[in-house]
Each structure stands twice: as structure tokens, then as C-alpha cells.
Structure 1
Amino acid sequence: MAVDFVHLHVHSDFSLLDGAASVKALAAKAEKLGQTALALTDHGNMFGAINFYNACKEKNIKPIIGCEFYVAPESRFEKKETPGGKKYYHLILLAKNETGYRNLMVLCSKGYTEGMYYKPRIDDELLAQYAEGLICLSACLAGELPVLLLNGEKEKAEAHVRKYREIFGAENYFIELQDHGLKEEKKASKLLIEMARKVGVPLVLTNDIHYVEQKDYVAQDILMCIGMKKLRTDTNRMQFEGSEFYFKSGEEMAQLFPEYPEAILNTVRIAEMCNLEIPQPGPILPIYKIPEDFSSKEDYIRHLAEGSLKKRYPVITDEIKNRLNYELDIVIKMDFVGYFLIVWDFINWAKNNGVSRKAWA
């Protein structure tokens, strides 16, 4: 029997030198497996968001735009490690709507402009400020919650859960369960489930996708080696354990935590909560301010063009007038008047200020 499931923790090749899956391949795999929605949560960026959105739409898959953020242990302005040696933690955020999408973009930008320290980092202050329209998942073993629990800091872990539930709202905060066959995950999962039950936070099952097919783990490992300038034969380097970080079917995912079916159901529930529509943009040009003597930009460009005729032709024949009107009519019909005026303006400025130009300008 097919299992309804949605992947919510997914990396593409826009997770630079880490993810080994193109957005088109991810969308195609979701279609092949009969999955109706799919998230993209690249590390610290949204570079692939629009390409992913379009790829999913082409396959009739609901796109869920997200990001796996790097969160500073304290302030994003603190450019140092904490006493425990942590520079950042991971955190998954998903956009429910346009407001959430805009907040994702703001958070990404501020990570680069304000929080850059090894990685583009945000902090709890920013999360509280831009939480509207977002769903939060506790992330992988690199998330703050699993780290605190594995370190035996249960009181801090509970305080962390309660704080994030307050920031995002009880309906928008979920504790992630993952199982890629790692011993630490087994230990963490038990603690995460206990914490979820104690505080009353829903569970959600994810797979930390970094490649589409299981055999692609080799390509992903090579990418990481390139990023670290290491050889695959070098044992003293970071690498993923095993080959379970691939795009699994709903049936495969259901086998991981069969005693917690709600963790599967919540993936679909989250997908239903996310309903972002990104309009396809047309040309976005500055508005050219015309002199007050003219009623429209069309009148102004005709005035400029007719004035230029007198400089170029000693005698203006009907043929020349007709050619000008023909060309202006095309420019106006295609709504390029503003563009032509903008180009005329900066070329004219360049002429008057001794800036070199192409021969035709």
C-alpha cells in the first residue's frame, strides 16, 4: 500500500559542494514515487528556490520553499566559538505563505550581511522578529535540541523547545526524527521523543536528502572532498556515514519509526499548511520621471526622437518620418518606452561627462 509522505529536509546542488541532486532530478523523483509535495532546504541559502519552484510546478508537485539555517549559539554579531566549541547550529524553516517567503529571504540576507562567521548565521533575535508565516523543524543531529540532549543538558533542551514553540507558535513547531543508520541518531531519537511527549510538541519524520539515488553517495562524497580539498582516501576528514541520505519512498520512510505513525502523517499536514504561490515576474524597470511639460512618456520619447531627426538629417522627408513613426509604434506597443528613456538618459549623461561608449551610442 502506498504511504502518503512528504520530504521536508532536502538539499540540492545549491547546497554548494554538499548536495548532489539537481532541483529537476528531485522534482522528477517525487513525481515517480507519487509524492504530491516536496520541500527544498538548502544550507544557508535560497539560491535554488525559483528553479526548484518551477521544476516542481512542471511536474504538478507542490513546492515548499525553505532553508536549513545556521543559528549562532548566542548573538549573530559574536564572531567566536562558544565554550563548547560550537560556531552554529542547524535549523529548518519552511515558508507557509508569501509572508513566510519574504521572511525567509530577509533571514538569509541578514545571515550573510550581519552574521557571517564561517557560515551565514542568524540568531534567536532575528527568528523572533521574522517568525511570521514560517514552520520550524528542529533539524538533524547538528540542531541545537539534539546537541543539548546528547550532552545530557535536558533542562536547557526543554527551555529551548519551549522558547521556539513560543516564537513560532505551537502549531508551527515540530521535533524532527531521523534514522540514517547512525548510532548517535538512535540515541538522539529516544531523547527527542521523550522531550516531545513531555512538552507536547508534535513529531515529524524526515530524511536528510543530499542525493537522489542511493548509488549517488559516491558523487556526494567527491563533492565534499572537493570542498575540503581532501582525497577520498583520506580518513581524517568529514564524510557522511553510510548511504542512506537519498530520496526514499514513503514506504521506506514508514519502516523507520512504525510505532510513531503521526510522524509520517505530520509531513502531509505540514505540506497542507504550506501554500506559497510565487508570481512569475516580468521585466521590472525603474519608473522614468518625465518633464512636467509632457503628458506621457510616449509623448516625451516622440519629442526626443523628432528632435534628434533634425540633427541627423538636413532634410526630413516623408520616408524618414514614416520610418520613425513605424519604429516608435513598435517600441510603444511592446511597452519598451521606459527602457528606451532610461538608456537614453545614461548614454546622454556619459556623453556629457566624457565617459567612453560603444560607437553606436
Structure 2
Amino acid sequence: MDSFVNLHVHSLHSIQDSVIKIEELIDKVIEYDQSSVAITDHSSCAAWIKFSQCAKEKNIHPIFGNEFYCWQFGESKNSDRDHLVLLAMNQEGMVNIRRFQRLAVNNFYYKPILRYEVLQENPHDGIYATSACFSSTISKYILLNSFDRAANYCEFFYNLFDGNFALELQFHPDFHMQSIVNMGLVKLSEELSIPLTVSSDAHFLDEKDRDLRRIVKAISYNKEYNEIDESLKSNCLGNSELIMKFAKESDFPYMDLVPKAIKQTQKIAKQCKGYIEEPKRHIPIFDKHDELDKLFELQEW
């Protein structure tokens, strides 16, 4: 069985960004002989119910997550946003992620924004976090060659989530900045003893869907098709073979770390046991009228 688990996946509920349909996602996971998959839409939990239903029908273990748009400590209002992936490990985590989603919407500024102060001050148990893509706080400081600041945020997340935090490698051969980020993540992992995981940051299922996403992005930005850069082929839904392939194409010098990062996805998946509860009837059953009917039957008029 493929040991890689997609822990960073966007569905159609990452509006005008992803073209992945939930039903097709589950079918693709089965095709790859994978037993589990996560949904981490951009600041949205809207896909969770349908995701739960479709996964349950096909006997796939669903992992419920969210990729939040964040502001750093003390950051004032601006259109720059950092990314952070949160995954629910249990029911407490499910509740806490939904709470953060509500708080992010309340702090809407172009997008729902989760401040790190809010993340720290509110309940955050039952959550596994990963450092997300090159737009994460840690990645940005790596690209600025500010490793002290990157390390500080690594330690912040690691301590905040009680060690349930991993640094997320991604392999995008056509994106040089990601290679720089990867090297920094390896260095931070070694210095701070924080595990490495890996994702494809999926926004479409197969490479053939790249063009469809490009069309969607053109609509999103109100631009001509030719004005939109092609999506990275490595943003497809991944498996172990594809991850290894893209790592080699990226000239990643530590190929021995890739199987370990793939194995870490399986370890994280096993920790994530949150679920959507079955719908229950909350409207009371009114049966008093039966007793009233009996009274009428006994009444002599």
C-alpha cells in the first residue's frame, strides 16, 4: 500500500483556486491505493460534511483540516497573508478549528484572517499543524535569510501544539523558491528536532487538469487566459512515486530524507481521528395530542 497520505489538499471550496471535486478526489485516492486523505481548504470548513459522507461510502479515512490565512504577532492590517495548515486530531480539534474559522471570518480583511495572537489565546488542543507552503511565515523568513525568526516561529508552533507540528516539504521542480525553502526546512529540522513531512499542496487531480485551473484563475483575477501563469504540474494529487519523482526533478540533495517525510504523513494521518457526527433529530416528538384524543373519546357531549 502507498504509504504517502495527502495532508494538504484543496477542493472546490477553495473558491476560484482549486478544481478538485470531492467525489473524484475519493476515487483518485482509491486508485492510488491510499487509505486516507485530508481536506485543507483555504480558510473554509465548508467541504467537511460532503467529504465525510463520500469518504465513508468508499471506506476512506477522512482527515478534516483548514489552511488558514494568518497575520504574524503585532502585524497591522495589510493584504499580505501567511499560510498555516491545521488538522483535527480528535473532536476537540474539530471544534477548535471551526472556532478559529469563525474568529478568522470576524477578522475579515480581503480574506478571513487568523491572527497568531488569537491562535495562542483560544483553545488549540487536538490539533496537528504543518508549516504549509512557501507562503507560510517560516518559509518567508527562510527566503529572507532570517533563520532566527524562522526558528522562533518553529518553536512557537511546536510548543503551542504540544509537539504536534511538522515542517512541510514540497517539491515543485519549476519553482526555484520552493527549493530554497526546502533547504531551510531541512536545516531547521536538524537544529530543532522537528520532523519533516511532505505534501503536493494539491489543487487538481492530474496534470491534465492544469489548464482547467488556469481558466479558473483567469476568471478569479478577471484577466485574460494568457495573463495567468500555468499551474505547477506538481500541484496534482500526489502518491509516493510522484513525490519521489518531483524531488529528483527538483535536484533535492537529501533524497534519503524523502521516504522519511513520506512515512511521517502516515504517522500524522494515524493521529487524526476527528469525525463528523451522524445527524440527530433535535426537534422534539409531540405526542401529547394522543392523550388529548383519548380525553375527547371519553367525553360525553
Measured after TM superposition, the shift of residue 52 of structure 1 is 0.8
Map of 2:9 onto structure 1? 10
Map of 1:66 onto structure 2? 65
Amino acid corresponding to residue 52 of structure 1 in structure 2: F
- 1:1-361 maps to which residues of 2 (within 5 A)? 3-74=2-73, 78=76, 80-81=77-78, 87-113=80-106, 115-128=107-120, 129-170=122-163, 172-181=164-173, 182-234=175-227, 239=229, 241-255=231-245, 256=247, 258-260=255-257, 261-285=259-283, 297-300=286-289, 303=292
The separation in 2 between residues aligned to 1:148 and 1:53, in whole angstroms, is 36
Amino acid corresponding to residue 263 of structure 1 in structure 2: A
Measured after TM superposition, the shift of residue 241 of structure 1 is 4.5
Measured after TM superposition, the shift of residue 227 of structure 1 is 1.1
Structure 2 segments unaligned to the other structure (5+ residues) = none
Measured after TM superposition, the shift of residue 124 of structure 1 is 1.7
The separation in 2 between residues aligned to 1:25 and 1:247, in whole angstroms, is 11
Amino acid corresponding to residue 241 of structure 2 in structure 1: E
TM-aligned CA distance change 1:299 to 1:87, over 3 Å: same
Map of 1:324 onto structure 2? none
Amino acid corresponding to residue 298 of structure 1 in structure 2: D
Amino acid corresponding to residue 229 of structure 1 in structure 2: N
The separation in 2 between residues aligned to 1:41 and 1:34, in whole angstroms, is 21
2:5·2:239 contact (CA, 8 Å) conserved in 1? no
Amino acid corresponding to residue 299 of structure 1 in structure 2: K
Measured after TM superposition, the shift of residue 74 of structure 1 is 3.3
TM-aligned CA distance change 1:91 to 1:304, over 3 Å: farther
2:211·2:230 contact (CA, 8 Å) conserved in 1? no
TM-aligned CA distance change 1:306 to 1:126, over 3 Å: farther
TM-aligned CA distance change 1:27 to 1:75, over 3 Å: farther
Measured after TM superposition, the shift of residue 299 of structure 1 is 2.2
State the structure with more CA Rg: 1
The separation in 2 between residues aligned to 1:13 and 1:272, in whole angstroms, is 25
Measured after TM superposition, the shift of residue 5 of structure 1 is 0.8
Measured after TM superposition, the shift of residue 147 of structure 1 is 0.2
Q: What RMSD, in angstroms, separates the aligned Cα atoms of the two structures?
A: 2.1
Amino acid corresponding to residue 168 of structure 2 in structure 1: E
Amino acid corresponding to residue 108 of structure 2 in structure 1: M
Measured after TM superposition, the shift of residue 224 of structure 1 is 1.0
The separation in 2 between residues aligned to 1:199 and 1:227, in whole angstroms, is 40
The separation in 2 between residues aligned to 1:217 and 1:7, in whole angstroms, is 18
Amino acid corresponding to residue 178 of structure 1 in structure 2: Q
Measured after TM superposition, the shift of residue 53 of structure 1 is 1.2
TM-aligned CA distance change 1:230 to 1:281, over 3 Å: same
1:73·1:87 contact (CA, 8 Å) conserved in 2? no
TM-score normalized with structure 1 length: 0.75
Measured after TM superposition, the shift of residue 7 of structure 1 is 0.4
Map of 1:338 onto structure 2? none
Q: Which has the higher contact order (CA 8 A, sep 6+)?
A: 2
The separation in 2 between residues aligned to 1:47 and 1:277, in whole angstroms, is 14
Amino acid corresponding to residue 67 of structure 2 in structure 1: E
Aligned residues with identical type, % of pairs? 27
Measured after TM superposition, the shift of residue 231 of structure 1 is 1.0
